[in-house]
Amino acid sequence: MLHYPKPLAKLVAELERLPGVGPKSAQRMAFYLLRQPKEEAAKLAEAILQVKETIRLCKECSNFTDQELCEICRDPKRDRSLLCVVAETRDLIAMEKTNEYNGLYHVLQGLISPMDNITPEMLRIRELFPRVANGVREVILAFNSTTEGQTTALYLASRLKPLGVKVTQIAHGLPAGGELDYADQATLISALQWRREI
Protein backbone atom coordinates (compact mmCIF):
# COMPACT_ATOMS: atom_id res chain seq x y z
CA MET A 1 0.00 0.00 0.00
CA LEU A 2 2.99 2.31 0.44
CA HIS A 3 3.26 2.88 -3.31
CA TYR A 4 -0.24 4.44 -3.52
CA PRO A 5 -0.72 8.15 -2.90
CA LYS A 6 -2.23 8.50 0.60
CA PRO A 7 -5.81 9.39 -0.50
CA LEU A 8 -5.90 6.42 -2.89
CA ALA A 9 -4.44 4.09 -0.25
CA LYS A 10 -7.16 5.23 2.16
CA LEU A 11 -9.89 4.55 -0.42
CA VAL A 12 -8.51 1.05 -1.15
CA ALA A 13 -8.32 0.33 2.59
CA GLU A 14 -11.93 1.46 3.15
CA LEU A 15 -13.23 -0.57 0.20
CA GLU A 16 -11.35 -3.61 1.46
CA ARG A 17 -13.37 -3.44 4.69
CA LEU A 18 -16.57 -4.23 2.75
CA PRO A 19 -17.79 -7.84 3.05
CA GLY A 20 -16.47 -10.10 0.31
CA VAL A 21 -14.01 -7.51 -1.01
CA GLY A 22 -10.38 -8.55 -1.02
CA PRO A 23 -7.30 -6.43 -1.80
CA LYS A 24 -7.48 -6.91 -5.58
CA SER A 25 -11.21 -6.15 -5.79
CA ALA A 26 -10.73 -3.08 -3.59
CA GLN A 27 -7.92 -1.87 -5.84
CA ARG A 28 -10.03 -2.49 -8.96
CA MET A 29 -12.96 -0.53 -7.51
CA ALA A 30 -10.73 2.31 -6.36
CA PHE A 31 -9.18 2.68 -9.81
CA TYR A 32 -12.63 2.51 -11.40
CA LEU A 33 -13.88 5.30 -9.13
CA LEU A 34 -10.74 7.33 -9.83
CA ARG A 35 -11.45 7.19 -13.58
CA GLN A 36 -15.07 8.32 -13.17
CA PRO A 37 -16.08 11.97 -13.51
CA LYS A 38 -16.27 13.79 -10.18
CA GLU A 39 -20.07 14.02 -10.54
CA GLU A 40 -20.36 10.21 -10.66
CA ALA A 41 -18.26 9.82 -7.52
CA ALA A 42 -20.41 12.50 -5.85
CA LYS A 43 -23.58 10.52 -6.76
CA LEU A 44 -22.16 7.42 -5.07
CA ALA A 45 -21.12 9.37 -1.98
CA GLU A 46 -24.55 11.06 -1.85
CA ALA A 47 -26.35 7.69 -2.14
CA ILE A 48 -24.33 6.29 0.76
CA LEU A 49 -25.00 9.35 2.94
CA GLN A 50 -28.71 9.37 2.03
CA VAL A 51 -29.08 5.72 3.04
CA LYS A 52 -27.36 6.41 6.36
CA GLU A 53 -29.58 9.44 7.02
CA THR A 54 -32.97 8.13 5.88
CA ILE A 55 -33.11 4.35 6.31
CA ARG A 56 -34.39 3.06 9.65
CA LEU A 57 -36.08 -0.03 11.03
CA CYS A 58 -39.80 -0.53 10.46
CA LYS A 59 -41.72 0.08 13.69
CA GLU A 60 -43.57 -3.24 13.25
CA CYS A 61 -41.23 -5.80 11.68
CA SER A 62 -37.71 -4.28 11.87
CA ASN A 63 -37.27 -4.41 8.08
CA PHE A 64 -35.33 -1.52 6.57
CA THR A 65 -37.56 1.35 5.42
CA ASP A 66 -37.56 5.08 4.81
CA GLN A 67 -40.99 5.46 6.45
CA GLU A 68 -42.48 4.55 9.83
CA LEU A 69 -43.85 1.25 8.45
CA CYS A 70 -42.29 -0.69 5.59
CA GLU A 71 -44.17 -1.39 2.36
CA ILE A 72 -44.99 -4.98 3.41
CA CYS A 73 -46.48 -3.98 6.78
CA ARG A 74 -48.59 -1.29 5.06
CA ASP A 75 -49.97 -3.74 2.46
CA PRO A 76 -53.63 -4.53 3.37
CA LYS A 77 -53.59 -7.63 1.11
CA ARG A 78 -51.06 -9.43 3.31
CA ASP A 79 -52.23 -12.39 5.42
CA ARG A 80 -51.80 -11.06 8.95
CA SER A 81 -52.22 -14.50 10.51
CA LEU A 82 -48.90 -15.68 9.03
CA LEU A 83 -45.58 -14.37 10.33
CA CYS A 84 -42.26 -15.38 8.79
CA VAL A 85 -39.24 -14.71 11.03
CA VAL A 86 -35.94 -14.09 9.23
CA ALA A 87 -32.49 -13.06 10.40
CA GLU A 88 -31.77 -10.20 7.97
CA THR A 89 -33.56 -8.03 5.42
CA ARG A 90 -31.68 -9.80 2.62
CA ASP A 91 -33.42 -13.04 3.71
CA LEU A 92 -36.80 -11.28 3.54
CA ILE A 93 -35.96 -10.18 0.00
CA ALA A 94 -35.00 -13.75 -0.93
CA MET A 95 -38.35 -15.03 0.41
CA GLU A 96 -40.27 -12.31 -1.43
CA LYS A 97 -38.65 -13.26 -4.74
CA THR A 98 -40.37 -16.67 -4.56
CA ASN A 99 -43.82 -15.02 -4.90
CA GLU A 100 -45.09 -17.91 -2.74
CA TYR A 101 -45.46 -16.19 0.62
CA ASN A 102 -48.10 -13.54 1.31
CA GLY A 103 -47.89 -13.07 5.08
CA LEU A 104 -45.98 -10.62 7.21
CA TYR A 105 -42.35 -10.75 8.35
CA HIS A 106 -40.31 -10.15 11.46
CA VAL A 107 -36.60 -9.38 10.98
CA LEU A 108 -34.40 -10.26 13.95
CA GLN A 109 -31.40 -8.27 12.64
CA GLY A 110 -29.09 -11.20 13.32
CA LEU A 111 -28.95 -14.69 14.83
CA ILE A 112 -28.09 -16.00 18.29
CA SER A 113 -24.39 -16.80 18.28
CA PRO A 114 -22.70 -17.65 21.59
CA MET A 115 -19.33 -17.83 19.79
CA ASP A 116 -19.73 -14.17 18.75
CA ASN A 117 -21.31 -13.16 22.08
CA ILE A 118 -24.67 -12.42 20.37
CA THR A 119 -27.42 -13.18 22.88
CA PRO A 120 -31.21 -13.13 22.37
CA GLU A 121 -31.42 -9.77 24.15
CA MET A 122 -29.26 -8.20 21.41
CA LEU A 123 -31.74 -9.16 18.65
CA ARG A 124 -35.28 -7.99 17.83
CA ILE A 125 -36.82 -10.97 19.65
CA ARG A 126 -38.63 -9.06 22.41
CA GLU A 127 -40.65 -7.19 19.73
CA LEU A 128 -41.83 -10.50 18.21
CA PHE A 129 -44.08 -11.69 21.06
CA PRO A 130 -46.66 -8.86 21.04
CA ARG A 131 -47.05 -9.36 17.29
CA VAL A 132 -47.68 -13.10 17.72
CA ALA A 133 -50.30 -12.39 20.38
CA ASN A 134 -52.12 -10.15 17.87
CA GLY A 135 -53.94 -12.90 15.90
CA VAL A 136 -51.00 -14.82 14.37
CA ARG A 137 -51.87 -18.49 13.84
CA GLU A 138 -48.52 -19.67 12.39
CA VAL A 139 -44.94 -18.49 12.82
CA ILE A 140 -42.57 -19.69 10.08
CA LEU A 141 -38.90 -19.71 11.05
CA ALA A 142 -36.79 -19.12 7.93
CA PHE A 143 -33.14 -19.19 8.94
CA ASN A 144 -29.96 -20.36 7.27
CA SER A 145 -29.19 -24.00 7.99
CA THR A 146 -26.18 -23.13 10.12
CA THR A 147 -25.50 -23.75 13.80
CA GLU A 148 -26.58 -20.16 14.56
CA GLY A 149 -29.78 -20.60 12.52
CA GLN A 150 -30.70 -23.82 14.31
CA THR A 151 -29.84 -22.36 17.72
CA THR A 152 -32.11 -19.38 17.04
CA ALA A 153 -34.91 -21.60 15.69
CA LEU A 154 -34.86 -23.87 18.76
CA TYR A 155 -34.76 -20.88 21.12
CA LEU A 156 -37.73 -19.21 19.41
CA ALA A 157 -39.74 -22.44 19.16
CA SER A 158 -39.34 -23.02 22.90
CA ARG A 159 -40.56 -19.48 23.63
CA LEU A 160 -43.40 -19.42 21.06
CA LYS A 161 -45.04 -22.83 21.57
CA PRO A 162 -46.36 -21.97 25.07
CA LEU A 163 -48.26 -19.09 23.41
CA GLY A 164 -50.39 -21.66 21.55
CA VAL A 165 -49.19 -20.68 18.09
CA LYS A 166 -48.15 -23.17 15.40
CA VAL A 167 -44.38 -22.91 14.87
CA THR A 168 -42.92 -24.26 11.63
CA GLN A 169 -39.49 -24.14 10.07
CA ILE A 170 -38.79 -24.01 6.36
CA ALA A 171 -37.60 -27.33 4.99
CA HIS A 172 -33.95 -27.28 4.26
CA GLY A 173 -33.60 -28.22 0.66
CA LEU A 174 -30.85 -25.72 1.26
CA PRO A 175 -27.43 -27.27 1.79
CA ALA A 176 -26.13 -27.40 5.36
CA GLY A 177 -24.25 -24.19 5.96
CA GLY A 178 -26.03 -22.55 2.99
CA GLU A 179 -27.43 -19.02 3.08
CA LEU A 180 -30.92 -17.94 2.02
CA ASP A 181 -29.86 -15.01 -0.13
CA TYR A 182 -27.68 -17.35 -2.27
CA ALA A 183 -30.43 -19.94 -2.83
CA ASP A 184 -32.28 -20.05 -6.14
CA GLN A 185 -36.03 -19.41 -6.22
CA ALA A 186 -36.99 -23.05 -6.87
CA THR A 187 -35.07 -24.20 -3.79
CA LEU A 188 -36.71 -21.51 -1.64
CA ILE A 189 -40.19 -22.34 -2.98
CA SER A 190 -39.61 -26.01 -2.16
CA ALA A 191 -38.26 -25.16 1.29
CA LEU A 192 -41.29 -22.96 2.00
CA GLN A 193 -43.83 -25.54 0.74
CA TRP A 194 -42.24 -28.41 2.71
CA ARG A 195 -41.81 -26.50 5.96
CA ARG A 196 -42.35 -28.55 9.09
CA GLU A 197 -43.51 -27.96 12.61
CA ILE A 198 -40.82 -27.86 15.28
- Give the CATH number for residue 16: 1.10.8.420
Question: In this predicted structure, what is the pLDDT of residue 145?
Answer: 80
- State how far the Cα of 168 lies from the Cα of 157, in Å rounded to an integer: 8
Query: What domain count does the chain have?
Result: 2
Alpha helices in 2-70 (DSSP H): 6-16, 23-35, 38-54
The verdict on 120 and 192 lying in the same domain is yes
Do 157 and 105 sit in the same domain of this protein?
Answer: yes
User: Looking at the domain assignment, is residue 65 inside a domain?
Assistant: no
Report how far residue 104's alpha carbon sits from residue 106's, in angstroms, rounded to the nearest whole number: 7
CATH number at residue 188: 3.40.1360.10
**Domain annotation covers residue 177:** yes
Same domain, 181 and 92: yes
63 in a structural domain:
no
pTM above 0.85, yes or no: no
- 40 within a domain of the structure (yes/no): yes
pLDDT at residue 177 in the model: 66
Phi, psi of 170 (to 5 degrees): -60, 145
Whether residue 83 sits in one domain with residue 164: yes
Domain that holds residue 21: 6-54
**Residue 60, domain member (yes or no):** no
The answer to whether residues 177 and 87 belong to one domain is yes
pLDDT in tens, the chain (198 residues): 457 789 999 999 999 999 999 999 999 999 999 999 999 999 999 999 999 999 999 999 999 999 999 999 999 999 999 999 999 999 999 999 989 999 999 999 999 999 999 999 999 999 999 999 989 999 999 998 888 998 999 999 999 999 999 999 987 666 666 777 777 776 777 677 767 677
Rounded Cα–Cα distance for residues 139 and 45 (Å):
40
* Shared domain check, 46 and 82: no
24 plus 100 within the same structural domain: no
Which pLDDT belongs to residue 185?
79
Strand blocks (E) in the chain? 56-57, 64-65, 79-86, 103-107, 138-142, 166-169, 196-197
What's the CA gap between 50 and 163, in Å, rounded?
Answer: 41
Any domain includes 69? no
